[in-house]
Amino acid sequence: MIRKAVRVVDQRTGTAPFLRKALRYVFPDHWSFLLGEVALYSFIVLVATGIYLTFFFDPSTERVVYHGPYEPLQGVEMSRAYQSVVQLSLQVKAGLLIRQMHHWAANVFVVAIVLHLLRIFFTGAFRKPRELTYYIGLTMLALSLLEGYLGYSLADDLLSGMGLAIGYAVALSIPFVGGNLALLIWDGEFPGSQDFWPRMYATHVLFLPVAIGVLIGLHLFLVASRHHTQFQGPRKTQRKVIGTPTVPGQAPRSLGLMAGVASLLFLLGGLVQINPVWLWGPYETGLSTNGAQPDWYLGWLIGGLRLMPPWEPHAWGYTFVPNPFWGGVTFPLVVFGTLFAWPTIERRLTGDRGFHNILDRPRDAPHRTAFGLAFVSWVVLVFFFGSADRVTVFFGLSYVNQLYAYWVVVWVLPVLVYAVTLRVCRGVQRKELVDAEQERAEAEARAATAPEI
């Protein structure tokens, strides 16, 4: 049946060689390689639900008075943007379901990319000839964080306003150019002019999705052209790939995964509440005391802003580096800069410039694994401190005491993680060598004592 379909298509298009190669493409038979597909299918759901939401959202800051079915907001003055989100959530058929699916899809998209990145880092999949694929993935992650930030900022609720105010302060803190940059982006002092919201809306629904879609296309093209990496195993070499062909193995599996991701997001959107904007209320400058929190993927940035000591270099009556710059600009630049630089750093430290199609086990690269876990623990600790205010509210722990504790732990724990991980990896390597030597000796002994036939 497949040959007949290929023949029919080839007679009309001359694409049989391409189709034959595509149908014979071999995929790795390991669950971790499906994380990239989860991200892809989450992005498809994001685009589909986003298109639906654009029919009902009004990106305007024009002031109106709410007269809808939600009693607590009756007679409250708000922007058209916030009013349209409340109406979309409470009055439009399937509006709340689609909006929550969209929000959950954004979270799953970022989760899948982060987990995919961790798998790539700890197995050495970023090495030659896949450095460009790795860089594209990192760029996609950075744009996805910005896209998520703009997405929940459009609602103009209290969470949105607080997030934009923080972003404005971070932009202002950039030395020398911060003031002009903030005025350029917001088209005036915060909260900006009437033109800012349409700009943000266009960036969220058009420019960034197109950019992310192009990066996904490039990423898939490079993966296919250089082929997938594969874990170590029998008969697997740097030149020989063992796995599942597109048809009949991978295609049905991938379609099932797509249906599963879409179904999960549908269930989450219908059963698990997320970002109830009608509870936060419209943004007002003097209100900042309710439980609204940014999405989890921005927790590490909030933690960085809160954790930084009050460093503000002054001279001749000027503040050269305002405090928000350290946690809001320097910290994310250090994180992404380290990730972007790591392939070059490892290549220079190890002198390894060869092609790699077989993945490392984490214990096979002790220093990379130790550094990676230490680096992750450092970022995770900063991420946890982003919730220090919630810890104070729910558990009564002093915010100041938490701050002092994190100032110590955020530097001590990564060093301990590095040392322990390095020791464990080397210990496992030694045990494997001893076990292999013992097996070889036992095999030689059995061969020596075997009766001759």
Rg of the Cα atoms in the chain? 27
pLDDT at 450: 67
Q: How many helices (H) and strands (E) does the chain have?
A: 18, 6
The closest of 259, 255, 275 to 267, measured between CA atoms, is: 259
Q: What is the distance between the alpha carbons of residues 42 and 263, in angstroms, rounded to a whole number?
A: 11
pLDDT at 132: 94
pLDDT at 289: 59
CB 120 within 8 Å of CB 137: yes
CB 308 within 8 Å of CB 330: no
pLDDT at 441: 85
Contacts 24+ apart (CB under 8 A), 371-376: 371/418, 372/118, 372/121, 372/122, 373/417, 373/418, 373/421, 374/414, 374/415, 374/417, 374/418, 374/421, 375/338, 375/414, 376/118
Q: Please provide the size of the chain in residues.
A: 453
Q: Is residue 74 classed as helix, strand or coil in its secondary structure?
A: coil
Question: 60-105: per-residue pLDDT in tens?
Answer: 989 999 998 999 999 999 999 999 999 999 999 999 999 999 999 9
Distances, alpha carbon 353 to alpha carbons 129, 297, 348, 349, in Å: 9, 34, 9, 11
Residue 435 main-chain phi, psi, to 5 deg:
-65, -40
* 395's tokens: 């558990």
Q: DSSP state, 204?
A: I
Q: Which amino acid is at 229?
A: T
Q: Is residue 25 classed as helix, strand or coil in its secondary structure?
A: coil
For domain 29-234+241-279, the question of CATH label 1.20.810.10 is answered with yes
pLDDT at 403: 94
Report residues of the chain scoring pLDDT below 50.
none
pLDDT at 389: 87
pLDDT at 271: 96
Residue ranges of domains in the chain: 29-234+241-279, 361-445
